[in-house]
Structure 1
């Protein structure tokens, strides 16, 4: 049960964090707010932000993986030559904010070559990885290539135990930081690690991580559909425990589930809104500001909308620019402009949901996110 004391603690913590937003206006903060503004107006001449799944292969087999990655999945990966061609398109069409993800990106033998090309073209990059394949050679090269002011690497702590962070990862994280790489950490809350979140956060700080510490929940997409999530109460308690001890130089980013869970308590959420002007409703920017390129070259509005009906094109057949401005892309954007929330009495304080999650569960964009406050499905 979420007690009044637990909620009051949360309010104090959330208000304090949101009022500090202007004090640490990072590139990610700026991008987030800019995307929302543009998504309200229409779509950009070319995508501002692009997520690029370089591979669907992965050395791990997490039971909650939304991408359903596996070590054997080599389905039509783009060749090195085609990847270089795509990077030139990024420069030509002024796409300067790229997230590299997988699968596990460091399974590609050409990964350092591709990162070097991206940086030569002045592109900001964010690398998502589980970290286990980052050798000393890779650490050295990343230290030379990445600019900690605009580039970053996120280590997903997918395997933790009673001792906290895996020993191998501790060494890799330390070495990256020693080479000047801006490292942040993400933890997906599961039934197994919820009670250890405080220990994981402390260890992250002791390792020297200062790029950020984020907490996310299991999405009901891919293998995540079959995984039992921690209860809202368990997630609240673990989150508040670490927020109480938050270090100024290692900010904790709450996941949407925290706000969406809290929104069931309208009076309390309204208190946060009154005291914290930076709490805003989320606007989906899929297909308007951001786009996703899958490992085989397929282009989708978002990594969570990889279905045939949302396929905008393939970069093996057309340029990214032509795909972005195609009639098919325009038709998909129109589909994604859903108005389900317009008449909802809770829309003034609900931060909104994810249409990708809704579609994964119901194959209907008009259905709500499974975390919808009204809790209806039709």
Structure 2
């Protein structure tokens, strides 16, 4: 795909996403049913080779009732036919543990989708990483919560940073040698264990033409919802003001021109969350804390689990399965939770903000 073609398709995607965004609230939400997915995630596996302190997915055991490679392939084809050049995030668990992950990424790119891979980069076979790079996806995002032993401790395995750094170097080398266009993003979770290491990641990203996105610590993934999780979690800063100070330092680095993907508004909301987690918990988990008004996830989320189940809200039951229906058919018949039954009706605490303040 030429760079001009990519630009045209990106413009097409932005128009479609913009329309769906407006349909959510335009005319009091009268046209909300016309929304199409704007956040598409495909979890190829819910297995992981890390032992992260902030995630319990790695504790999953036993066989996965996964769709066949052909069924996954059909999902990519159907998404392209339905949505055009949509953005699709391939993730997990650790997506690269799925044997056909790179095949599916290659297919998605050929189809004209904007494919993003979210990976921890812990891969012993750099030939796999080279092949991934040569597929030239839209973006490759790597989890990096610090440099050296900071990252190792958070990921629960010695040598994790060294292996991830090797993957990053391979991606940088192939991009340079082949003059490819994929972007490389680092994703860093702000938590008690790395408050003094956040700036190191920004500088590491900046010197090699990458960028970094920071997100605040949440309740451990793959655990039952606990509104008071931060009261007993070692991941939550004992002194929230230390986290606020750390985020302020990131804001200064952004003003200095470092490649931090968060907006200043987004970072300001992160500070509000650390100061009052009870008030901002739900909006932060929904990644809508920066928006003026929170809206039901079912208006934009299409998440396909490793067993083929489809969710339009992470806190509600699955609404279908891609083994028996196309994503488009599932989307068309999904429950209209934005009209009645939205999870936020029961999960929002009294007085909790429904979005960023003016």
Q: What does residue 131 of structure 1 align with?
A: 121
SS of alignment partner, residue 245 of structure 1: helix
Q: What does residue 36 of structure 1 align with?
A: 21
- Aligned partners of 1:371, 1:256: CA distance in 2, in Å? 21
User: Is 1:248 matched with 2:257?
Assistant: yes
- Aligned partners of 1:330, 1:236: CA distance in 2, in Å? 39
CA positional deviation for 1:160 = 4.5
TM-score of the superposition, structure 2-length normalised?
Answer: 0.72
CA positional deviation for 1:48 = 3.8
CA positional deviation for 1:140 = 2.0
Q: Which residue, out of 334, 338, 358, partners 2:339?
A: 334
- Aligned partners of 2:310, 2:144: CA distance in 1, in Å? 28
SS of alignment partner, residue 334 of structure 1: coil
CA positional deviation for 1:100 = 0.8
CA positional deviation for 1:215 = 1.2
Q: How does 1:96-135 map to 2 (within 5 A)?
A: 96-133=86-123, 135=125
How large is the Cα RMSD of the aligned pairs? Answer: 3.4
Q: What does residue 219 of structure 2 align with?
A: 220
Q: Which residue, out of 300, 317, 324, partners 2:324?
A: 317
Q: Which residue, out of 299, 310, 334, partners 1:299?
A: 310
SS of alignment partner, residue 198 of structure 1: helix
- Aligned partners of 1:121, 1:134: CA distance in 2, in Å? 29
1:85–1:252 distance in 2 versus 1, CA, 3 Å: closer
TM-score of the superposition, structure 1-length normalised?
Answer: 0.68
Note the residue ranges of structure 2 that are not aligned, 5 or more in a row. Answer: 1-9, 153-160, 176-181, 224-228, 277-289
CA positional deviation for 1:60 = 0.8
Aligned residues: 300
CA positional deviation for 1:121 = 1.1
Q: How does 1:147-186 map to 2 (within 5 A)?
A: 147=137, 151-158=138-145, 160-161=147-148, 166-180=161-175, 181-186=182-187
- Aligned partners of 1:135, 1:103: CA distance in 2, in Å? 18
- Aligned partners of 2:206, 2:21: CA distance in 1, in Å? 31
Higher relative contact order (CA closer than 8 Å, sequence separation 6+)? 1
CA positional deviation for 1:248 = 2.7
1:129–1:216 distance in 2 versus 1, CA, 3 Å: same
1:282–1:235 distance in 2 versus 1, CA, 3 Å: farther
Q: Determine if contact 1:164/1:203 at 8 Å carries over to the other structure.
A: no
